[in-house]
Amino acid sequence: MNLLENVKNFLKIDNKNNLSNNPDPSVVDFDLESIPIGFFDEGGIYGFDIEDRLSKQKLLINTYRELSSQSDVSRAINIIIDEVVFNPYNNNYLTLDFIDDKISKGIQAKMSETLQNIELKLNLSKNFYSLVKQFYIDGQLNILLQYDKNIKKGIQGIKALNPNGLYFDNKTNKWKYNSNYTDNTYLFKGGDLEFSYEEIIHINSNMYYKNVILGYLQPSLKTANMLKTLEDMLIPLRYNRSVSRRAFKVDVGDINFKKAKEILDMFKKEYKYKKVYDPETGEIKHQNRFLSLVEDYWFTNREGSRGTEVDILDEKGNLGEIEDILYIRKKLYDSLHIPSDRVGDGKSEISATFDFGNDSTNVENINFWNYVNRIKYQFMDLFYEIFKRELIAKNIISNKDYEQIKHSFKIKYVNDNIFYENLEKEKLQKQVDLWGSLEGIVGKTISYKTAYKKVFNYSDDDIEKLKKEIEEEKNDPFFKQFYENGEDF
């Protein structure tokens, strides 16, 4: 059964869920705040407890989300996502690059128009950052495509699903919600909800552990928890060592123990002084909660030997000793692939020295951008899947045709990051300089073909393509003048 038949059957049978009734197809309803992680059963649900996996997945995403709220982790996430969605001119995010001539000009035009419409339906200028951030934290993203009853009208709505309790059942070849593991209980008034295979697009980090999807924050769990513990204890420990305490020595004479205790309690109540630290808000309060910082000491003097005394116990500490915190903080940023010149050492605001010039071309930044690119192209699967299903639904091409031409085009991000742009320009400049230094040698000592391969890393196909482009430009009225006059373009 092909995509069109599957979607038609689903819409005919399960239209009671009103999945196809979208009054405004241009508006995308992303419920981003309610997206916890779900479960994707790649290998089927046979042979193990699906509910156990759903429970573990839910617990894991809650851990990731709590972790992402920590200040240092949140800062690192923002740095990463900003690089992924980099678009300084706020233009289109996506473009099509056609690799060969297998696709006709007419189909190319329709494909380009389809991609632009998808970008509008996704409203990427508004939602791109949030979608990528959700994907990064959760380790997965599940998207519901809503079709019109007339399937040839294509995708009418796109929604981000709540992945909590969502799994794929190989027995029925459908996506299903387990009502015991989702917060959206209102969805299940008429029974458990299910979707056909073509309606759901699922992308994930491709990192698994015992059939559970891991998020990109997994390597930083230990160091982030260590940093949080140290920061929570910073104020209590420093404050506890640096603040003076009072030692009350109350003269109780030779009265009995019970009366002496009553007198001592009376003094405690009157002069009680206690401060506590609230690790959730970072505040120091006069309450009997959380971690005690300062308390008075109480003793009794017997038989009027010395009378009532109040002594001050001075203890000194150093609030500037944070080397242990800075060490764990650096380990945290290392685990998240953040270069040190992006965040500094924590000792001064000007220690973050990163810029997009050549001085920042170091191992740390190269590794960081490679990491960012992996995330970008992992997320690119979402666009390919939506694009494919829209082309087939609108009958622009068939499923069989798509399989034949899928290697003849690429969906690309319009704006790559500045770092790679600078590297490419620097590389091209060196190649051009090297080519100029070969003048007088090419055509004599080595052939032009060999020079093209050695200097510009061209393949035989690249050279043939270049020759074809040059011939086309010579016949083009605009480019022809540069060839005739020998001018620079």
Q: Identify whether the C-beta of residue 245 lies closer than 8 Å to the C-beta of residue 296.
A: yes
**pLDDT range class, residue 371, cuts 50, 70, 90:** very high
Q: Identify whether the C-beta of residue 178 lies closer than 8 Å to the C-beta of residue 2.
A: no
Segment 349-375 shows an average pLDDT of 72
Segment 401-422 shows an average pLDDT of 83
Which of 101-105, 191-195, 207-211, 275-279 is the least confident region?
275-279
**What is the rounded CA–CA span in Å between residue 359 and residue 439?**
32
**What is the rounded CA–CA span in Å between residue 411 and residue 21?**
30
How confident is the model at residue 336, as a pLDDT? 93
Task: Tally Cβ neighbours within 10 Å of residue 46.
Answer: 9
Is pLDDT above 70 for 359? no
**pLDDT range class, residue 201, cuts 50, 70, 90:** very high
For the chain, what are the domain ranges? Answer: 3-217+364-417, 244-313, 438-485
User: What's the pLDDT tens digit per position in 56-91?
Assistant: 888 899 899 999 999 999 999 999 999 898 877 767
Cα distances from 115 to residues 28, 109, 124, 373, 407, in angstroms, run: 16, 10, 12, 21, 17
How confident is the model at residue 81, as a pLDDT? 94
Is pLDDT above 50 for 458? yes
β-strands 200-204, 140-147: how paired?
A: antiparallel
The larger pLDDT score, comparing residue 390 to residue 448, is at 390
* Residue 30 structure tokens: 């992303």
**What is the rounded CA–CA span in Å between residue 1 and residue 7?**
10
* Residue 489 structure tokens: 């373009």
User: DSSP label at 47?
Assistant: T
Residue length of the chain: 489
Strand segments, DSSP code E, in 17-92 are: none
How confident is the model at residue 94, as a pLDDT? 92
**pLDDT range class, residue 150, cuts 50, 70, 90:** confident
Task: Name the residue among 195, 197, 172 with its Cα closest to residue 3.
Answer: 197
**Matching residue, tokens 């622009």:** 396
**pLDDT range class, residue 418, cuts 50, 70, 90:** low
Segment 302-319 shows an average pLDDT of 59
Is pLDDT above 90 for 185? no
HSE-up of residue 394 (Cα within 13 Å, Cβ side): 19
Is pLDDT above 80 for 450? yes
Is pLDDT above 80 for 102? yes
**pLDDT range class, residue 300, cuts 50, 70, 90:** low
Task: Tally Cβ neighbours within 10 Å of residue 441.
Answer: 10
The larger pLDDT score, comparing residue 247 to residue 148, is at 148
Percent of the chain with pLDDT over 90: 27
How confident is the model at residue 416, as a pLDDT? 67
Strand segments, DSSP code E, in 81-222 are: 94-98, 140-147, 155-160, 166-169, 174-177, 194-196, 200-204, 208-209, 212-213
Q: Which helix (DSSP H) or strand (DSSP E) does residue 31 occupy? A: none
How confident is the model at residue 137, as a pLDDT? 94
Cα distances from 210 to residues 41, 57, 148, 214, 380, in angstroms, run: 11, 11, 38, 10, 26
**What is the rounded CA–CA span in Å between residue 28 and residue 280?**
36
**C-beta pairs of 25-30 under 8 Å, 24+ apart in sequence:** 25/121, 25/156, 25/157, 26/120, 26/121, 27/123, 28/121, 28/122, 28/123, 28/127, 28/157, 28/158, 28/159, 29/157, 29/159, 30/127, 30/130, 30/131, 30/159, 30/160
How confident is the model at residue 117, as a pLDDT? 93
**What is the rounded CA–CA span in Å between residue 83 and residue 376?**
9
DSSP string computed for 198-257: GGEEEEE-S-EETTEEPPTTGGGHHHHHHHHHHHHHHHHHHHHHHS-EEEEEEEEET--H
User: What's the pLDDT tens digit per position in 25-38?
Assistant: 333 343 333 333 33
Is pLDDT above 80 for 243? no
**What is the rounded CA–CA span in Å between residue 160 and residue 236?**
43
**pLDDT range class, residue 396, cuts 50, 70, 90:** very high
User: DSSP label at 153?
Assistant: G
